[in-house]
Amino acid sequence: MITVAGYNSAIDRLVDVSALRPGDVVRATPADERPGGKGVHVAQTIAALGMPVTLVGLCDDAHAAEFSERLRLRGVDFRAVRSPVPLRQCLAIREADGRTTEILERSDDPGEDTRFVLDQVLRHWAGESQAVVCTGSLPPGFAPDYYARIASELALPCAIDASGDALRAAADGSPWLLKPNAAEAADLLGAPVATLADAATVARALHARGVRHAVLTMGGQGAVGIDENGAWKASLQVEGVRNAVGSGDCFLGGLVASLARGERLDEALRLAVACGAANALGDETGFVRIDTVDGLRPLVRVEPWHV
């Protein structure tokens, strides 16, 4: 089993508009509310790949029953911790040309008691897991080095996908896996990360600092990964992209699922890229269909990368 720490749960909403015109009245399609947040996206992907997964996260009373049932139907065991504050909302506005704008609410501090319960629930389920994934922003009140401490204190592989101060702390904590994207890596370094060559340089530096699997995602350009066995780049060009929001989370879900099954990093990158692309071809944020993943996986190009 894999346990996902996706504490900062959210409500995902996707609406379609002909064009986004600031200051004007814009008509949108009705939006369905779904369980959201990076942890949900990662856990759904792991479940779609046939692996048992437990998700630990916040949920308010208004959405607890719906979230648990929806995630149960997706194969995710949601261990909800009651939030005394309403869940934040994440709105994706998609225009007819495919451009998508995200509006992400900031969460409120759930309080010291709730933060303690989240930590204890995670540690309980981690004790029955083969790997832990710490992903997404932390609710206010958590220390920036929380993910790094979890990775050092749990006696099992820990994957971290974070940004800002949480990423900086994780990079110094020698986690089993670290997966920043281009913007997060650029913020970490204070320098642009615009090409796969830039990404490979960053991954090499992270690996040298003790990160066992250092992986950088570069959107449509693909991804670069480095571990003790070598370095690889993986890419896939697809047409008909519908909704790329959440593709990085689905990538992470595929990556962790493959590595947890004992596959090499190059094969894990192949599955991860296929999962990211499968999400982009669908309408729902952070969700993949296994038949789509299986169809894309053989098309992913994975090559050794010398840096």
Domain segments of the chain as ranges: 2-20+29-304
DSSP letter at 181 equals B
Superfamily of domain 2-20+29-304: Ribokinase (3.40.1190.20)
Q: Which long-range contacts (CB under 8 A, 24 or more apart) does 237-241 make?
A: 238/277, 238/280, 238/281, 238/296, 240/281, 241/98, 241/280, 241/281
Query: Which ranges of the chain does DSSP label H, i.e. alpha helix?
Result: 38-48, 64-73, 112-126, 146-153, 164-171, 182-189, 196-208, 247-260, 265-280, 290-296
What order do you get walking across the sheet with 34-36 strand by strand?
Answer: 34-36, 10-16, 88-94, 100-104
Q: pLDDT-derived band of residue 307, with 50, 70 and 90 as boundaries?
A: low
> For residue range 160-211, what is the model confidence (pLDDT) as tens digits?
999 999 999 999 999 999 999 999 999 998 889 999 999 999 999 999 999 9
pLDDT digit string, tens, across residues 87-141? 999 998 989 988 889 999 999 999 999 999 999 999 999 999 999 999 999 999 9
Does the global pTM surpass 0.85? yes
190 or 6, higher pLDDT = 6
